[in-house]
Amino acid sequence: MHKTLTLLLLALAAGGAAAAPADPLQAYVAQARQADPGFAPAASRGEAFFRLQRAAASGRIACTDCHTDDPRQPGRTRARKPIAPLAPVANAERLADAAKTEKWLGRNCLDVVGRACTAAEKADIVAWLISIR
């Protein structure tokens, strides 16, 4: 898996404008490695986090509640406001701005898990989203 992610990052870097999603990923990986020098992002963990369903009694929502099961498709907030697709393959602007990525992951993690996501969790989520074709 580590080789696959390395190849993906190299391909993104070689692709000019398509390299933007790697920027937040690289930042989150660097942060995660401060706590765990051996950390390597895993798209499989990011997908599992995204698909984790929350018990209604917890008062928490799941990512899929607003973003649908397919991140290539548009979603809707709980207030029915449209949300552009999460996957960069379907929305070139998604993950292109590191500050926006941090802003939305920060807000959404609070709704989904009731706390700030760790840098490792964010790296895994971003790795999964950029791996979607």
Q: Using alpha carbons, list the distances in angstroms from residue 37 to 7, 27, 29, 41, 125.
A: 20, 14, 10, 12, 19
pTM across the whole model: 0.81
Could you tell me if 21 and 12 are in contact, meaning their C-beta atoms sit under 8 angstroms apart?
Answer: yes
> Regarding predicted confidence, which is higher, 121 or 6?
121
Query: In this predicted model, what pLDDT tens digit does every residue of 29-39 receive, in sequence order?
Result: 999 999 999 99
Domains belonging to the chain, first-starting first, are 2-131 (1.10.760.10)
pLDDT at 86 over 70: yes
Confidence of residue 2 (pLDDT cuts 50, 70, 90): very low
Signed CA dihedral, 64, 52, 26, 22: sign only: negative
